[in-house]
Structure 1
Amino acid sequence: MREVKLSLFGFGNVGRAVARVLLSKEAFFRERYRLKFRVVSVADTSGVVWLPEGMDMREALAVKETFGKLSSWTNDYEVYSLTPKEAVREIDADIIVDVTNDKNAHEWHLAALRDGRGIVTSNKPPLAFHYADLIGEAEKRDLPYLFEATVMAGTPIITLLREGILADSIEGMEAVLNATTTFILSQMEMGQDFERALKTAQRLGIAERDPSGDVLGIDAGYKATVLHCLAFHPITFDDIAVKGIAEVTSGEVRRARERGRTIRLVAAVEKGKVVVEPREVPLGSPLAVESHENAAVIRTDLLGELVIKGAGAGLKETASGVVSDIVKASLSLRGA
């Protein structure tokens, strides 16, 4: 049995979903992989709770859900005011798990790698802007840097591209990678205009209070950038073209339906070129997804056309991607 020490950064919805999977499947991980996970620290925006011998994650969940912040956990644990970079250097952990939205997280990811710690992350901007540096540092030190949940939640497109089709040359791919825009466009097909459809999405918790990352195509652009880095060579988000759905009109949606087509926010990824924009796709296309599904059509020289489709959002789905990477990283560490 190998014990693996985890340091968890981010204890919002995704972080708590990860914690629940680690708890509920503890016996499964022991029996199937001979792995025991010990969470030695948890951080949210209020502070870092750190206990080298391991934390009671059920109590951590109760504190966060009752009081809204980990800094309220004062009875048995000390709360530290550490920056993420300080925390990854001071806390003895095997794997750093980043489920934050910190756009500058590449700085402390690099610090963690240089201190010999593996990384598992669902955080997109570090990879969308610093992929080459992060992967290069991890490879130089023979450490895992895993990021399945950055694209399509737990649907394993990252593993497919990184490990599954190594004999193939990828010629290009088209993908629908943002479920919020799919919901809004679906509502517009039912007669709502863009503003009303957006408000519906916000009321249901599908769109954020600030929806710009989704409706302007930024989220899909981050994901498409990561796919290009995997399929071809490293680029950054600044190298791609992005147009969101804010200018799509009800008339355009209606006319597309009359032609047997639907409008979706499509990322087209070719070597040296990434374009994210609303496009008409046939109703029978794998890209004509509904609800929270994502889909990608990958073209290769040997396999031809390969379709991967599945959940692109959702807490347990994202936690699946994160925890799968935790298991994979644990097994790859020396001595596993």
Structure 2
Amino acid sequence: MEVKVQLLGFGNVGRAVARVLIEKKAFFKRRYGLTFRVVSISDRSGTVWLPEGIDLREALLIKENFGKLSAWTNDYEVYNFSPREAVREMDADLVVDVTNDKNAWEWHLEALREGKGIITSNKPPLAFHYGELIGEAEHSDLPYLFEATVMAGTPVIGILRENLLGDTVKRIRAVLNATTTFILSRMEQGVDFERALRQAQELGIAERDPSGDILGIDAGYKATILHCVAFGPITYDEIVVRGITEVTAGEVERALVRGKRIRLVATVEEGNVRVSPEEVSGPLAVSSNENVAVIETDLLGELVIKGAGAGLKETASGVVSDMVKAALGLTGA
């Protein structure tokens, strides 16, 4: 079966998704009987639209050589669609949102009402509008999948949504932000906060504006999404968040003396979500770009799921897995 895809966002993650679709095209056909035809790609400069399918290799070359899709004027017409116009105007089965658009929930709803399933790595729409989005998807009988919003491709969302169906989740404790883990790990080695942050930025682990990470906002979005899946809708505005900016070298050192490490920990219980630096040991004492979630349930007890919480291939894994899952759902497989 051929599945028509609109790709909104062609930054690092969008390009990583395109590379996977190229490299594993034969695998998807052989394993699942699926072919993905990308009919449109949008970046900040415009939208390239070709109903018979866009050459992804060429799209990557244009973006990497010129920095914007609007430079692709020889072979394709470039449209100045808003995301809402893009999802309304074009014929597609799935809309893949790998943008950082905080208002994307509006065009997610539009896409669902146009009969298109959604796959997204974009956290704010779910952190503020989960109930509305999932409600519309259920009403429309369409997939709305978002594995890559939490722990990149490590399938914590899939486990909560699809596997623990007989369990009652009691609590989730998780370390969900790789940037803060990197900074705190460096502080354990005697590097001061500011220098550790600069190193994270130089390595591409932290953004130029790192406030979303160090203030706990990113972890807060992810913790909110975990609550929505495990317990039911809640919004980011209802949770308590404290970042790592006030963690001192002395606190880090004293924790090490006690055989512990300070990490930015999300605690998710029914009706209660908080994110704050805590002294931890055991599974939560991760390092590098690892994320971990400890899920406590009535039947299974304690389940630890650990894996890469950042990285382009890792995030693309979550997005593309959702694309396959959604496509198989559309085919009735």
The normalised TM-score by structure 2 is 0.99
Tell me whether 1:333 sits opposite 2:314 in the alignment: no
Deviation at 1:123, TM superposition (A): 0.2
CA distance in 1, matches of 2:19, 2:249: 41
- Partner amino acid for 1:11? F
Report 1:34-45 matches (<5 A).
34-45=33-44
Deviation at 1:195, TM superposition (A): 1.0
Unaligned runs of 5+ in 2: none
Unaligned runs of 5+ in 1: none
Tell me whether 1:236 sits opposite 2:235 in the alignment: yes
Number of equivalences: 333
CA distance in 1, matches of 2:286, 2:123: 22
SS in 2 for 1:333: helix
- Match for residue 311 of structure 2 among 308, 314, 325: 314
CA distance in 2, matches of 1:151, 1:27: 28
SS in 2 for 1:11: coil
The equivalent of 1:268 in structure 2 is 267
Report 1:103-252 matches (<5 A).
103-252=102-251
Deviation at 1:335, TM superposition (A): 5.3
- Match for residue 297 of structure 2 among 300, 307, 311: 300
- Partner amino acid for 1:91? M
Report 1:11-26 matches (<5 A).
11-26=10-25
SS in 2 for 1:17: helix
Deviation at 1:200, TM superposition (A): 1.1
Deviation at 1:204, TM superposition (A): 1.3
The equivalent of 1:323 in structure 2 is 320
The normalised TM-score by structure 1 is 0.98
- Partner amino acid for 1:37? F
Report 1:89-108 matches (<5 A).
89-108=88-107
Q: Deviations over 1:2-31 (max 9, x none)?
A: 000000000000000000000000000000
Runs of 4+ in 1 over 6 A off after TM superposition: none
Deviation at 1:334, TM superposition (A): 4.5
Deviation at 1:193, TM superposition (A): 1.3
CA RMSD of aligned residues (A): 0.6
SS in 1 for 2:283: coil
CA distance in 1, matches of 2:305, 2:331: 32
- Partner amino acid for 1:144? P
CA distance in 2, matches of 1:262, 1:307: 18
CA distance in 1, matches of 2:318, 2:305: 15
CA distance in 2, matches of 1:235, 1:161: 16
SS in 2 for 1:286: helix
Deviation at 1:233, TM superposition (A): 1.2
The equivalent of 2:288 in structure 1 is 291
Q: Deviations over 1:273-311 (max 9, x none)?
A: 0000000002xx111101010001010000011100001
Q: Deviations over 1:60-108 (max 9, x none)?
A: 0000000000000011100000000000000101000000000000000
Deviation at 1:192, TM superposition (A): 1.1
CA distance in 2, matches of 1:67, 1:57: 15
SS in 1 for 2:127: helix
CA distance in 2, matches of 1:309, 1:247: 27
- Partner amino acid for 1:214? D
